[in-house]
Structure 1
């Protein structure tokens, strides 16, 4: 079994999901008392969000690269970044370590293509929706990404940062997110990328008609495949 290196803390709820699901996944696959070999480094989310607000992505890249280097020194065989938004600095992190990074967009694109889907909607943070770092990486795999209309971006971002990262799951927020997803269907999306771990706490397949691609779930499964393969 390979050792999985996790860089988390963005938010701690997201890291909790990764840790829980990796442990559950190994138990389901191997049974008995089996659990994954993990190295976890978490960062201060308040510091990173302040730098994000100041658009100091150079400093964010440096901090996450240092965390990744610590994970590598601790014996990780490959790296998992427990976030969608901060994949914006994935290239910086990859350049800073000698172990491979299991890039979320690569994992998700393969899952989307396996379902013969070529156009997906993305819901997530403002950065993930408005910056092209994720959609460009998906496009390299032949998958087109569309995002909600601009007037919905602040609402989705606030739902994540003001509610979900604090463990608050609000029904009225769920209803509006479902409406936003319906709008992406009208825009031609054949499926929806739930592009933030916290959003997986809010939306499930039973809420919508379009197929959901749960990015964290797919990331975890890919990490298990690599670690156990």
Structure 2
């Protein structure tokens, strides 16, 4: 088994299912009572998201690279960041990282391509929606990314920081996200919506989405289980 170093805490509401589902996913694959070795270094979403939104790439990369080095020192064979926004500086981190990294963006792109999508919407932090890193990756398979309007992006980030990252899921917020998705399907012609923040699936849970969803967290977890099993 390969040891995973997970960069978590960005935010904790998604780090919890990452930890649980990776361990039990491996156990299911092994077919007996077993949990794989794993280490988590917990950062703060209240550091990552503002740096990303402000375009402070060097500061963000340094913050995340310190965490990657921590999990490397703890014996991790490879690492992953349980956060879409952090992938704004994935290329820089990959160059400096002492161990391989598994990208949440690339594995989601591969899933979207396998399902035959040509145009998909993207919901996430402002750093994710404006950073261009999803577009860069998805363009390699010819998939077009559509993002919400500027005022919708501000609404999404505000709700993430003021509610979801604190564990609050409110019906009014769920309806707000549903309306944004519905408008993008109607006006932008999206065929599916990327839940491009690992906390956004909490908002969509139990909600009927106007289009199919690409849950980056679940897709990433499945890829990490595969990587551990190597």
TM-score calculated relative to the size of structure 2: 0.92
Q: What is the deviation of 1:101?
A: 1.0
Q: Which moved more, 1:45-54 or 1:65-74?
A: 45-54
Q: Which moved more, 1:62-71 or 1:133-142?
A: 133-142
1:104-115 map, 5 Å: 104-115=104-115
CA distance in 1, matches of 2:150, 2:168: 24
CA distance in 1, matches of 2:96, 2:109: 24
Residue 221 of structure 2 is matched in structure 1 by: 220
Alignment: residue pair count = 229
1:9-48 map, 5 Å: 9-48=9-48
Residue 144 of structure 1 is matched in structure 2 by: 144
Distance 1:2 1:202, change over 3 A: same
Q: What is the deviation of 1:50?
A: 5.1
CA distance in 1, matches of 2:208, 2:79: 32
Residue 99 of structure 1 is matched in structure 2 by: 99
Task: Give the gaps of 5 or more residues in structure 1.
Answer: none
1:5-84 map, 5 Å: 5-49=5-49, 51-52=51-52, 55-84=55-84
Q: What is the deviation of 1:52?
A: 4.3
CA distance in 2, matches of 1:19, 1:65: 21
Measured on the aligned residues, the alpha-carbon RMSD in Å equals 1.7
Distance 1:118 1:50, change over 3 A: closer
Q: Which moved more, 1:178-187 or 1:165-174?
A: 178-187
Spell out, residue by residue over 1:17-40, the C-alpha distance to the aligned partner (whole angstroms, 9 max, x if none): 211221231233224321132121
SS in 1 for 2:6: strand
Q: Which moved more, 1:196-205 or 1:104-113?
A: 196-205
Question: Does residue 1:207 correspond to 2:176, yes or no?
Answer: no
CA distance in 1, matches of 2:31, 2:133: 38
Residue 153 of structure 1 is matched in structure 2 by: 153
Q: What is the deviation of 1:205?
A: 7.1
CA distance in 2, matches of 1:49, 1:145: 21
